[in-house]
Amino acid sequence: MLDYYQALHDLLTQNIPSLKKQTVSLQEADCLILAENLTVQYDTPFFSNSAMDGYALGGDIDTCQEWKIIHRIAAGDTAQSMTLKTGEAARIFTGAPIPEGTTAVIQQENTEVNDSILTLTSPVKKGQNIRYQAEELKKGDVFLSSGQYITPAVIALLASQGYAQIPVFKPLTIYVFSTGNELINPGETLSAGQIYDANRYLLLSWLKQTPHQIIDAGTLPDNKEATEQALSNASQKADIIITSGGVSVGEEDHVHAAITKLGKLTLWKLAIKPGKPFAWGEIDKATVFMLPGNPVSTFVTFQQLVVPALKRLSGIALEHCMPKAVMAKTTFSTKKTQSRKEFLRVQLQPSATGLYVKLLSHQGSAMLSAFTQADALAEIPENTLVHENDYIKVYPLSYNFNA
């Protein structure tokens, strides 16, 4: 059985099929992925300006005792024809351009003004309260790289540089299947031996937060021919196929056999609990992720393996695809060791003495309820006993590509 981190490494370093590009308006770019390096069009700040409402002080500020106020400059004004010499000042407002010859800006709370003569009630240093031209971004430099996931912060930065049209990767098409004769849909009436499909709804709901086109491909019966036919058809249209169930070793588990026949099974069986039968492969150009049927196994393998791989396949830069973990102190201990790395549903409890991990009850791989209370997955390393107050790795749950 393959180690979790080895599997993650393999998934993230696979060949990424070349992604198509398109240009969208700034308003349509959120949650998409930048497809080109973008350069600074305008120095930021574009012109040196004041960080405070106050007074721009000219010339030598160390020896001068008082200043004559000779200009008034508001945001939106230009200061092109103005200069300040020693002993001269300008009334200035936040964001307004500073005049030539300004050595510092003093905020108005630290001043006194009588008949246009300004004195200071606090000392001021050279450069204080001046936001200098290009101190943040210099024209021509790359300020955002291809592979950047577009968050609201990125939208703001793009807007601040005047970008109205954004080159992005085209969304992918993702087919989501469930498998199993026992599955029916919510809204239908349960008969003996049946259960409601939870996994497909979980995956469809999560994937809605991505930029991709998501196809609800329904439920596959536990039948070899039907499974092969449906996966073969989907592979002609999909970039990615996600299935749940039917990947274990039973006679009714047809999914990995179908992938082996139609394409290539790259990976099967991981040393993790839950999620051991997780499999991955491809049919033609479509990448196929096969998640184990137990709903918690589906959830864990999706969060810990499929989401990082999906990010990469979507074009997000490799360094932003690894799931992010934090270290936190346990409030519980484990009684026996496991040969597989275990991912437990936990709550994170911040306190003055650090971040603590509380174990939720109902950890069985068929028990979904703890997930609704959980805000993280705690990693219990293989063959390891955990004691109270030990530091362990926890992976905060995320429901979009941003985390």
Ligand X SMILES: Nc1nc2c(c(=O)[nH]1)N[C@H]1C(S)=C(S)[C@@H](COP(=O)(O)OP(=O)(O)OC[C@H]3O[C@@H](n4cnc5c(N)ncnc54)[C@H](O)[C@@H]3O)O[C@H]1N2
When the beta carbons of 77 and 182 are compared against ligand X, the nearer one is 182
Structure tokens given for 78: 């230009």
How many residues belong to the site for ligand MOO (CB under 6 A)?
A: 8
User: Of the two residues 111 and 301, which places its CB atom closer to ligand X in the complex?
Assistant: 301
Report 236-295 residues binding ligand MOO (CB under 6 A): 273-276, 292, 294
The residue (of 192 and 352) whose beta carbon lies closer to ligand X is: 192
Torsion of CA 148, 152, 153, 157, to 10 degrees: 80
The residue within the footprint of ligand X, chosen from 247, 265, 283, 346 (CB under 6 A), is 247
Residue selected from 48, 103, 129, 294 as contacting ligand X according to rule CB under 6 A? 294
- Interacting residue with ligand X among 58, 277, 281, 308 (CB under 6 A): 277
The tokens describing 250, both together, are 């039973």
Give the tokens for residue 334. Answer: 């484990």
Residue appearing with tokens 């106050």? 54
**Tokens 């396949």 sit on residue:** 313
Q: Angle of helix 255-262 relative to helix 224-237, nearest 10 degrees?
A: 60
- In angstroms, the CA 313 to CA 18 distance is 9
Contact set for ligand X, span 296-355 (CB under 6 A)? 297
Residue 34 CA to residue 163 CA, distance in Å, equals 12
Select from ligand X, ligand MOO, none the partner in contact with residue 183, using the beta carbon and a kind-dependent cut-off of 5 to 8 Å. ligand X
User: Of 317 and 367, which CB lies nearer to ligand X in the complex structure?
Assistant: 367
Structure-token pair, residue 237:
């249209």
Residue 311 in contact with residue 322, Cβ under 8 Å?
Answer: no
Contact between 365 and ligand MOO per CB under 6 A:
yes
156 binds, among ligand X, ligand MOO, none (CB under 5 to 8 A by kind): none
Separation of alpha carbons 130 and 37, rounded Å? 30
Q: Tell me how far, at minimum, the Cβ of 4 lies from ligand X, in Å.
A: 14
Nearest to ligand X of 55, 302 (CB atom): 302
Residues of span 291-320 touching ligand MOO by CB under 6 A: 292, 294, 297
Query: In angstroms, rounded to a whole number, what is the distance separating the alpha carbons of residues 394 and 329?
Result: 10
SS3 category, 322: coil
Query: Residue 45, preceding bond cis, omega within 30 degrees?
Result: yes
- 365 in contact with ligand X (CB under 6 A): yes
The residue among 257 and 355 lying less far from ligand X, judged by its C-beta, is 257
- On the CB side of 271, CA atoms within 13 Å amount to 14
Give the nearest distance from C-beta 385 to ligand X in angstroms: 22
- The tokens describing 300, both together, are 């864990």
345 lines the binding site for ligand MOO (CB under 6 A) = no
- Residue 329's CB is within 10 A of a number of other CB atoms, namely 16
Choice between 49 and 301, CB closer to ligand MOO: 301
| Contact set for ligand MOO, span 127-146 (CB under 6 A) | none
State whether residue 166 is helix, strand or coil: strand
Residues that bind ligand X (CB under 6 A): 178-180, 182-183, 195, 197-200, 244-249, 253, 274, 276-277, 292-295, 297, 365-366
Residues lying near ligand MOO in the complex (CB under 6 A):
273-276, 292, 294, 297, 365
